Structure 1
């Protein structure tokens, strides 16, 4: 049954397994240099190219007013397809508030919709510029907003959508 020799074999087997596991870990660390200190040394030779290394590519500054003036309403309606899952344009609220009349409307002014407080802290009115900033990165513009959409990255898409929403008012 269970005598001293059996107990000694079980403990020896566990210790042997642990030893093999630790040796395997040591071998893997030395093989893959985990924590080996790469990147701690200075570069030995630098080739001068005559250009200053800015570290980041310069972003192209886009004039949003010009994009809005040249916006395509048909493309804006297509972009609204991404918003249609949560927003309506018939005056009724869905998961998000209705968007008819949103351009120029006070922020948080849709009757009966429970807004998060984060929006009203950022601005008072949904101007095209405020809508552009919000649609680019909703959580970045209004931290704490309950809108779960990641945003529209292309400025042309944002301009087309805002122009189309503005055209709904007549």
Structure 2
């Protein structure tokens, strides 16, 4: 019943069916997808053009003037993984009690990177803002492994909280 000729006929019929299927698929693709689509009949306005406009740049001094130190408490939780708020108590990083207005590298923390003292002499609110926005971009070579806070209001609130620590 199954001899060589029967097996050859079955294999040839499968190959022929596959060839017809592939040629039919190719013909259908050419027929129905040749020119693409025409114009849309109705366009829904999503306001995407308005969202693409550049954001208005706000001065840090204006945002810092209205900063909320209580909101900064919540943000300090991220910092507390490495830094302490108590004076003289270093963690993985230096303590942040009295950091606003303090000279860069003036604590007894032993592992300061030299990149910070090359960029600034005193931790002013503006210097802290630049550092907290992008630590590695503001002070290339810093050993701080934090990516930064992108929101200017969050940075202002955090700096206001740090400024309130030492009265």
Q: TM-score, with normalisation over the residues of structure 2?
A: 0.66
1:168 is matched with: 165
In angstroms, what is the RMSD of aligned CA positions? 1.2
Alignment of 1:106-145 (within 5 A): 106-145=103-142
Structure 2 residue 57 is matched with structure 1 residue 61: yes
Q: How does 1:19-168 map to 2 (within 5 A)?
A: 58-91=54-87, 92-168=89-165
Provide the C-alpha distance between the structure 1 equivalents of 2:66 and 2:152, rounded to a whole number of angstroms: 12
Flag the structure with higher helix content: 2
Q: What 5-or-longer segments of structure 2 have no aligned partner?
A: 1-51
SS of 1:120's equivalent? helix
- Say how many residue pairs are matched: 115
In the TM superposition, what whole-angstrom CA distance separates every residue of 1:78-100 from its partner, at most 9, and x where no partner exists? 01011010000112101000000
Q: Decide whether the 8 Å contact of 1:93 with 1:113 is kept in 2.
A: no
Provide the rounded CA distance (Å) in 2 between the counterparts of 1:109 and 1:134. 17
Note the alpha carbon deviations across 1:113-162, whole angstroms, 9 max, x for none: 32000000001000000000000000000000000000000000000000
Runs of 4+ residues over 4 Å off in structure 1: none
Larger radius of gyration: 2
